[in-house]
């Protein structure tokens, strides 16, 4: 498998990673045994970038990843994130109580993540969301201290602006920026992605399949579990879903003509946007995992790329990607 390089400090990974959030968080109840099978199979298929975060659960996802990969440590790069204040009680997202990137909190969070993951060093550590109360220079300074201490190997940022990225990179090399990027979320193309390329920073798209919507398998929100986080997202409200569903139908038509699935076409389009891009689609079943990984073998012509991009034109997508309160936390 042809590897891709994130950043300039030598982090090489397979072209498609695995986002693990949905195994423990946000998308309704998950089957732990099935998740362990998916993680093991991912490694068998050559996936090397495994993405988690302390807030997924909270904490449960890191513990799951740690158990699954205990005997496979040398075959994977583990990415995790800090940056939220997490309450001791409650369920899921209700335990998130704002951001916290105070340097002392970063050190505590990383020590706890290392313990839950059962590893000595985190391969890629992200700040999950910018903390407006803490200068990014202080945040990256604390993260760089963890690199010097051998606790972390590479640094990343999530959902940052181009200006914040430049300030951060001046303190310590940033290996990757992780932000939402897909056919229906292309905001990063304006400033963030060009800044990454200017600085030699890799880009890791999360939700590359639009939280499942771009697969064409979610015709209505009624298919989602009652506690599914997507019920709160503007794009998953009934009027927007209907309009966006017509866009996905066009994508499905292109996929059928090519003999692949809509998910594979969406991922192949994303991979073709640059060799510095490593999407991390989630998967809770072996079938979806294998479908996603196979997308790396789908080569697209210039005309196909143009047709795919036009099928889901950003201006035609209905609904914001987050509610206002969460949207305010991105691009700082």
pLDDT in tens, 241-259: 999 999 999 999 999 999 9
DSSP state of 175: -
pLDDT digits (tens, 9 = 90+) for 198-255: 999 999 999 999 999 999 998 788 889 998 999 999 999 999 999 999 999 999 999 9
Rounded CA separation 129/159 (Å):
6
pLDDT at 99: 95
Tokens of 299: 């080569």
Q: What is the mean pLDDT of residues 3-27?
A: 96
> Of 50, 38, 39, 40, whose CA–CA distance to 14 is shortest?
50
pLDDT digits (tens, 9 = 90+) for 129-185: 999 999 999 999 999 999 999 999 999 999 999 999 999 999 999 999 999 999 999
Tokens of 322: 């987050």
Comparing 289 with 226, which gets the higher pLDDT? 289
Omega into 123 within 30° of 0, i.e. cis?
Answer: no
Q: What is the mean pLDDT of residues 93-108?
A: 92
Whether the model pTM is above 0.95 = yes
pLDDT at 220: 84
Contacts of 208 (CB under 8 A, 6+ apart): 181, 182, 266, 267, 270, 279, 280, 281
pLDDT at 95: 86
Q: CA Rg, the chain, in Å?
A: 19
Query: For residue 6, what pLDDT band results from cuts at 50, 70 and 90?
Result: very high
Q: How far is CA 74 from CA 69, 78, 119, 121, 239, in A?
A: 9, 10, 11, 12, 47
Domain boundaries along the sequence of the chain: 4-213+270-298
Q: What is the mean pLDDT of residues 315-330?
A: 96
Angle formed at CA 17 by CA 73 and CA 60, multiple of 5 degrees = 65
Q: Among this protein's residues, is 3 annotated catalytic?
A: no
Strand, helix or coil at 121?
coil
Catalytic residue, candidates 3, 27, 56, 229: 56
pLDDT at 246: 96
Q: What is the mean pLDDT of residues 63-85?
A: 97
Which CATH fold topology does 4-213+270-298 show?
A: TIM Barrel (3.20.20)
Q: What is the mean pLDDT of residues 7-31?
A: 94
Tokens of 209: 């399949």
pLDDT at 59: 95
Task: Please determine, for residue 89, whether its predicted confidence score (pLDDT) is greater than 90.
Answer: no
Query: For residue 124, what pLDDT band results from cuts at 50, 70 and 90?
Result: very high
* The residue count for the chain: 332
Task: Please determine, for residue 36, whether its predicted confidence score (pLDDT) is greater than 80.
Answer: yes
Residue labelled with tokens 């300039």: 8
């Amino acid at each position: 498998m042809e590897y891709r390089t994130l950043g300039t400090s030598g982090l090489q990974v397979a072209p498609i990673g695995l986002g693990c959030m949905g195994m423990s968080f946000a998308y309704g109840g998950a089957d732990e045994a099935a998740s362990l099978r998916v993680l093991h199979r991912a490694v068998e298929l050559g996936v090397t970038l495994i993405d988690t975060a302390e807030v997924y659960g909270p904490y449960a996802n890191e513990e799951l990843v740690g158990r699954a990969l205990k005997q496979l440590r040398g075959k994977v790069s583990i990415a995790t994130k800090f940056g939220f204040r997490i309450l001791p009680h409650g369920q899921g997202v209700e335990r998130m109580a704002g951001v916290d990137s105070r340097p002392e909190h970063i050190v505590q969070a990383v020590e706890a993540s290392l313990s839950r993951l059962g590893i000595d060093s985190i391969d890629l550590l992200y700040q999950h969301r910018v903390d407006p109360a803490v200068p990014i220079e202080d945040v990256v300074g604390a993260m760089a201290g963890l690199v010097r201490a051998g606790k972390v190997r590479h640094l990343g940022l999530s959902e940052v602006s181009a200006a914040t990225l430049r300030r951060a990179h001046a303190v310590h090399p940033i290996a990757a920026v992780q932000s939402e990027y897909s056919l229906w979320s292309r905001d990063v193309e304006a400033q963030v992605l060009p800044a990454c390329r200017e600085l030699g920073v890799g880009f890791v798209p999360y939700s590359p399949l639009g939280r499942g919507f771009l697969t064409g398998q979610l015709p209505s929100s009624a298919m989602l579990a009652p506690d599914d986080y997507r019920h709160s997202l503007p794009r998953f409200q009934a009027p927007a879903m209907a309009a966006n569903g017509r866009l996905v139908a066009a994508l499905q038509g292109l996929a059928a003509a090519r003999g692949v699935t809509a998910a594979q076409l969406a991922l192949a389009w994303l991979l073709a946007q640059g060799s510095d891009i490593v999407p991390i689609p989630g998967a809770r079943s072996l079938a979806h995992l294998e479908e996603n990984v196979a997308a790396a073998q789908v080569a697209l012509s210039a005309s196909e790329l143009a047709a795919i991009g036009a099928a889901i034109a950003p201006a035609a997508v209905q609904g914001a990607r987050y509610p206002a309160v969460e949207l305010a936390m991105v691009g700082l």
